[in-house]
Amino acid sequence: MENEKKPKRKGLSLRGRQTVSGYLFIAPWLVGITVFFLYNIIEAWRYSFNVLVMEDGKRIFTWVGLDNYYFIFREHTTFFVEMFESIFQMIVNVPLIIFFALFMAILLNRQFMGRGMVRAIFFLPVIMASAAIADTIEMSYGMLFGGVEYIPPEVMREQTGFNVGSIIMLLANFQVPPQVVEFIVEAIANLHEIIRSAGVQILIFLAALQSIPPSMYEVAQIEGATSYETFWKITIPMVSPLIITNVVYTVVDTYANSEVVETARDMYVMENNFGASSAMSLSTALLVCLVLFAICWLISRRVFYYD
């Protein structure tokens, strides 16, 4: 009895101390997530069941129940299709971007001439992908080619891309199943996109690769491991926590740039329909969360942590 009581007199137990310091560390975030995030989400959720009208700087709510949801799923012409296309696009892009980023990070982590310059080039998409610069460039293209000669960016991308038709023919001649062909064609058609949107992921992987202690590789080399074994037994497990980070980032980035988000934004910018806009955002966000948790659950069983 006395032995059990002794630490309690001094203060909290180890578990209690862990709890207190844990909460102390996340305290600032706890405030932020409640006041600036959860509150807003709940408000958006409330909007999605109402028709919201702004009058004299006041908000007037009219309860309409599930009407907004009925509208976006059954009456809106494009939303439902766009939502599933965005999800499909995401499922195609995520593995490609992750593999590409890991591959490039491993290449860039080697010693070669002009490495600093190449790394700087790989950082460019991170800068260029920002809305400010991308919009400016697009706008100025519109100015230059204005009128009949204006080429929308979608068409431009296809023109600069690779001739996909030849690949389809080739694969069809080899009796490759159509689903696989579709996947490969998507991948090739999106090559530009994949390279451009892998900038952040490459940097995160680079940082991860560089935090692997070189002594591990030395030990493996002395023990006679081939570079293939070293890759699977050291590099991959050590990088694996950040594979999850990158998957999360990729999914979110693909989603944030997808058409659904744009449709939801147009809904209130063009039509001032706050309710339907909120309903769209919330239902797609929910779907993306489900996809994300499924992917993370699949990967996280293989992730290596020190604890």
Partner 1 sequence: MNIKSRFNEWANSPMAKNNVQKWGGRTKNFIFNIVMAIIIVGVCYTILAPVIAIISRTFMSPQDIGNPLVFLFPQEPTMYNLQMAVRYMDYVSTLTRTFIHAGAFAVLSVVVASFVGYGFARFKFPGVGILFGLVILSIVVPVQSYMIPMFLNFRFFLGQSDWNLINPNYPIPLLLLTLTGVGIRSGLYIFIFRQFFRGIPKDIEEAAFIDGAGTFGTYMKIMLPNAIPAVTTVFLFAFVWHYNDTYYGGLLMTGNSLMAAQLGSVGWTYSEDQDTRNPIFIQLVVFAAVSLAIAPILTLYLFLQRFFVEGLERSGIVG
83-122: contacts with partner 1 (CB under 8 A): 104, 107, 110, 112, 116, 118-122
Q: What part of residues 201-230 is at the interface with partner 1 (CB under 8 A)?
A: 203-204, 206-208, 210-216
Residues in Cβ contact with 285 at an 8 Å cutoff, skipping those fewer than 6 apart: none
**Among residues 164, 181, 185, 238, the one that binds partner 1 under rule CB under 8 A:** 238
Burial 106-141, CB ≥16 within 10 A → b, else e: bebbeeeeeeeeeeeebeebeeeeeeeeeeeeeeee
The Cα–Cα gap between 47 and 64 comes to: 10
How do the residues of the chain divide into helix, strand and coil, expressed in percent and rounded to 5?
80, 5, 20
Q: 172: which 2 tokens?
A: 């069809």
Q: Smallest gap, in angstroms, from Cβ of residue 195 to partner 1?
A: 5
Residue 38 binds partner 1 (CB under 8 A)? yes
**Among residues 83, 101, 200, 276, the one that binds partner 1 under rule CB under 8 A:** 200
Q: What part of residues 126-185 is at the interface with partner 1 (CB under 8 A)?
A: 126-128, 130-133, 135-137, 139-141, 143-144, 146
Q: Smallest gap, in angstroms, from Cβ of residue 229 to partner 1?
A: 17
Q: What is the separation, in whole angstroms, between the first and last Cα of the chain?
A: 32
Q: What part of residues 249-268 is at the interface with partner 1 (CB under 8 A)?
A: 249, 251-252, 255-256, 261, 264-265, 268
> Which among 87, 102, 84 has a CA at the least distance from the CA of 244?
102
Which listed range, 66-74, 75-83, 179-187, 278-286, lies at the site for partner 1 (CB under 8 A)?
278-286
Query: Residue 71 or residue 141: which is nearer to partner 1 going by CB?
Result: 141
Q: Which residues pair with 262 in a beta bridge?
A: none
Residue 76 binds partner 1 (CB under 8 A)? no
**Among residues 64, 187, 192, 300, the one that binds partner 1 under rule CB under 8 A:** 192
92 CB neighbour count, 10 Å cutoff: 17
